[in-house]
Amino acid sequence: MYQNNTYTELRDVLFNTILLSNHRGILGQKLSISKLQTDSFNLSVKISKLSNIQNTKLTKLYDTKRYIDPSMFSFGSEYEDMIPNGTPPFLDSGEKYVERITRALSYFKQCALIGPSGTGKTHIVYLVSELCRLPLWEINCGLQTSVFDLFGRYIGLGKENWIDGLITNWCRHGGILYLDEANMMKQDIATKLNPILDARGHMVLTEKDNEMIHRHRHAYLIISMNPFSAEFAGTKPINAAMRRRMSVWLNFDYMSSGKNVDKKEIQLVTDKAGIHWEIAEKIVEVGAKLREEYKTGDLPYGPSIGDLVNWGMLIADGASIEDSSNETIVSMTSDDLEVQDEVKSVIQKVFRYKSDERNGI
pLDDT tens digits, 326-337: 999 999 999 999
Report the distance separating Cα 36 and Cα 44, nearest Å. 6
Distance CA 248, CA 236 (A): 20
Average pLDDT over residues 230-234: 48
- How far apart CA 264 and CA 285 sit, in angstroms, is 13
Backbone angles phi and psi of 249, in degrees to 5: -125, 125
Long-range contacts of 281-287 (CB under 8 A, 24+ apart): 282/350, 282/351, 282/361, 283/308, 283/311, 283/312, 283/315, 284/256, 284/308, 285/256, 285/261, 285/350, 286/325, 286/329, 286/346, 286/347, 286/350, 286/351, 287/254, 287/256, 287/329
With H, G, I as helix, E, B as strand and everything else as coil, classify residue 293: helix
Does residue 318 register a pLDDT over 60? yes
CB under 8 Å to 89, separation ≥6 — which residues? 57, 58, 61, 127
Would you say residue 19 has pLDDT above 60? no
Beta pairing class for 202-205 and 32-37: unpaired
Q: What is the pLDDT of residues 39-76, one digit of tens each?
A: 555 555 444 444 445 567 788 899 999 999 999 888 88
- Mean pLDDT score, 217-241: 76
How far apart are alpha carbons 267 and 128 in whole angstroms?
Answer: 24
Lowest-pLDDT choice from 23-37, 193-207, 294-308: 23-37
Confidence of residue 184 (pLDDT cuts 50, 70, 90): confident
Alpha helices for the chain (secondary structure H): 4-24, 56-61, 97-108, 121-132, 147-151, 166-173, 187-197, 240-245, 263-273, 277-295, 305-316, 321-325, 331-333, 337-351
Average pLDDT rounded to a whole number, residues 190-198: 90
**pLDDT for the residue numbered 206:** 86
Reported residue count of the chain is 361
**Identity at 132, one-letter amino acid code:** C
Query: Which residues, 6 or more positions from 203, have their beta carbon under 8 angstroms from its beta carbon?
Result: 151, 167, 168, 171, 192, 193, 195, 196, 212, 213, 215
Q: Which carries the bigger pLDDT value, residue 159 or residue 36? A: 159
213's CB contacts (< 8 A; 6+ apart) are: 168, 171, 172, 202, 203, 204, 205
pLDDT at 328: 96
